[in-house]
Structure 1
Amino acid sequence: MKTTKLLPLLLLFIVASCSSVSVNSDYDKNVDFSSYKTYAFFKAGIDKVEISDLDKRRILRAIDEQMAAKGFTKSENPDLLINIFTKSREQVNVNQFNAGWGYGWGFGWNPYMMGGSQTNVSTSTEGTLYIDFIDAKKKEMIWQGEGNGTLTKNTTKKDERITEFVGKILAQYPPVKK
């Protein structure tokens, strides 16, 4: 009886954990990040990204919003160039649930297994978004943020998901030196 009550909670936890974005960043420890005030997008790099133009615009809009919130200004003569790069891969999830009681894993017929078993197969797309900050004068990458998470094909939720990816990645900029 307790298992039946805990199952919805477990499924909610699994779904919630799948929707999160994990982030990492790396940076040049010799750079003074406080000297950067303006930015522009690195068009040559962004043009090479193999995603739809709609998704590119969603990402760039989200970056604009985050940079403005951090006090940066878009400029024709920027301190920083921002580039993006994406990767994706299909994830196949197989879940088997054995109901009832009995011995073993429920392979074949078992007189002690009263409830049977159920197997669910689902697919999802896992994506990675990289955001690179390049010193415009030196033409050197000074910071890179990376976000990994499950993507959605639902167009009404794409804006939310991309905003979440970009927001969590750029929350790590500027880096806090320890």
Structure 2
Amino acid sequence: MKNLLLTSLCLALLSCGSLRVYSDHDTTVDFDSYKTYAFFKPGIDEVEISDLDKKRILKAIESVLDAKQLTKSETPDLLINLAVKSSNEVFINQNNNMMGFGFGYGWGWGWPYNNNIARVSSQTNGMLFIDLIDTKTKQLVWQGKGKGFISEYTKKRTERIQLFVSEILKNYPPNKE
């Protein structure tokens, strides 16, 4: 359950913080030949995130690919799969403030004051992978991933997911080399 919650938050990558995207592809593939796509249901069903977030991601992918002139089909050229990873980072910030009041110059009687403050915070880093698989060769031909900070408190979750997916798929199809 804890893992499910953590990875569910992963798709809120999407709350605050910077977003970094990367992509890689098979340089021998002619991406202009791909015209249709479908989602790889068995792979997507295994992703441990909430069903609501899955729907948001799939809808965002459909929107972006439609704008790129790819059509959803029962007999696709490409299969789309998702993967999610998350990790926690803990930050400890400690301040030791020491001061005192006293009489005399350099020595004498006084009252010291010590204020130790320790602040502990954590943030979850999440990654969303979008894999494009050629249906004829059954090979991965393109992979995009986005990495960002996660917050469980996201008011505009749908918009953030749309932005996140758009940024990942911005590099598809890749430039011809």
Give the deviation of 1:177 after TM superposition. 3.0
Alignment RMSD, CA only? 2.3
In structure 2, what is the equivalent of residue 173 of structure 1? 172
Structure 1 unmatched runs, 5+: 1-17, 99-105
In structure 1, what is the equivalent of residue 38 of structure 2? 40
Matched, 1:161 2:165: no
Give the deviation of 1:176 after TM superposition. 1.2
Give the deviation of 1:32 after TM superposition. 0.3
Structure 2 unmatched runs, 5+: 1-15, 102-112
The number of residues matched between the two structures is 151
Would you tell me which structure has more helix in proportion to its own residues? 1
Give the deviation of 1:125 after TM superposition. 1.6
Matched, 1:50 2:48: yes
In structure 2, what is the equivalent of residue 125 of structure 1? 124
Give the deviation of 1:55 after TM superposition. 1.0
Structure 1 letter corresponding to 2:158: D
**Structure 2 CA distance, aligned partners of 1:109 and 1:71?**
65
Q: How does the TM-score come out when normalised to structure 1?
A: 0.76
In structure 2, what is the equivalent of residue 102 of structure 1? none
Identity score, percent: 54
Classify the secondary structure of the residue corresponding to 1:78: coil
Give the deviation of 1:84 after TM superposition. 0.3
Classify the secondary structure of the residue corresponding to 1:92: strand
Q: Is the 8 A contact 1:152 1:161 kept in 2?
A: no
Q: Which has the higher contact order (CA 8 A, sep 6+)?
A: 2
Give the deviation of 1:52 after TM superposition. 1.1
1:24-103 aligned within 5 A: 24-95=22-93
2:98 alignment partner, one of 109, 117, 124:
109
Larger radius of gyration: 2
Give the deviation of 1:162 after TM superposition. 1.5
Classify the secondary structure of the residue corresponding to 1:173: coil
Q: Is the 8 A contact 1:151 1:161 kept in 2?
A: no
